[in-house]
Amino acid sequence: MKALLVCEYQQGKLRESTYELLAFADRIGADKVMLLIGSQLEAPNFGGKVYLAEDSKYGEYNPDVHKNLVLDIAKKEHPDYIVFIHSSFGWDLAPRVAAALKIAQISEIVGVRDGKFEVPSCNAKLRRLLAPKTAQAVLTIQAGVFSYQLETHATPQLEFVDLAPSTLRVEFLGYETAEKKEVDLAKADVIVSAGRGIGKKENVETIAALARAFGGELGATRPVVDAGWIEHTRQVGSSGQSVAPKLYVACGISGAIQHIAGMKKSDFIVAINKDKDAPIGEVANVLVVADVMQFVTALLTRLKK
């Protein structure tokens, strides 16, 4: 089995999530070959074959050109899987490759079990196991799921790509600066986050009070933000901010993989949940099994003393 891993490269830098592709390939027991569309100076720390298409020639991102580059390498290597990170880059390029090759695509993989790929469904409340029906398949993996360890002193075996230029239908203009955040949670030493388990919007103030008592910031899960209880600028997860505080307190958060991806690098994680089997317990250092509002109220009372 072989996997073609398409590197993440943005604004002149190799993105750290690229190495999760290597971890995923190891998880499925696949031989690895990589494609980097970027600078030689940013070649991944990987002791295997890396096809390099210089961004000075092929551009930072152009969907038609980059699709053809992936197809060219796929024709040479005949991989079983062509793998992208489930990011804005992967969302755009992966289906173009799958459509061109007329092969299956499985998106947002969060696990591998019994030879099948595990993906979230029903707003991450459930998981499904999927397997492609085609011999080849395009896959995207959820960032933050597959842990990796960098190879030490690994030197990539670079092979430069020389593909005839094609007619450009799209011009890359640049990146648009994101709306300025009300608060930069990435700088916080302590974050206390609210999930749907807090029950109602009126309980947000109690969770915010706990955050203040710890000298920290208030965070939130996507369902809480979508419900309008807390502003989006405080959302933690793959579609919000990625954080790594010294202390992360998860209040009423079940532990959807998209949320865990954004906070699992925290130094110490305390989860408060009435469900002792909640997925958040898999990453928590301490799991408090209790009614979240009763426990937080009692904790605030004790802290005030």
Of residues 90 and 169, which shows the higher confidence score? 90
Q: What is the CATH number of the domain that holds 88?
A: 3.40.50.620
3-state secondary structure 59-110: CCCCHHHHHHHHHHHHHHHCCCEEEEECCHHHHHHHHHHHHHHCCEEEEEEC
Domain that holds residue 40: 2-160
Of residues 96 and 10, which shows the higher confidence score? 96
Q: What is the CATH number of the domain that holds 253?
A: 3.40.50.1220
Q: Are residues 22 and 149 in the same domain?
A: yes
Q: Are residues 287 and 194 in the same domain?
A: yes
Beta carbons of 233 and 181 less than 8 angstroms apart: yes
Q: Are residues 107 and 224 in the same domain?
A: no
What single-letter DSSP state applies at residue 189? S
Residue 167 lies in a domain: no
> Distance between CA atoms of 79 and 30, rounded to whole angstroms?
9
Averaged pLDDT for residues 31-59: 88
> What digits encode the pLDDT tens for the residues 164-187?
766 667 777 878 776 666 678 888
| Predicted pLDDT of residue 151 | 67
Residue 204 lies in a domain: yes
| Beta strand residue intervals within 202-277, DSSP E | 217-220, 247-251, 268-273
| Rg of the chain, C-alpha, whole Å | 21
Beta carbons of 210 and 192 less than 8 angstroms apart: yes
What single-letter DSSP state applies at residue 258? H
Helix (H, G, I), strand (E, B) or coil at 126: strand
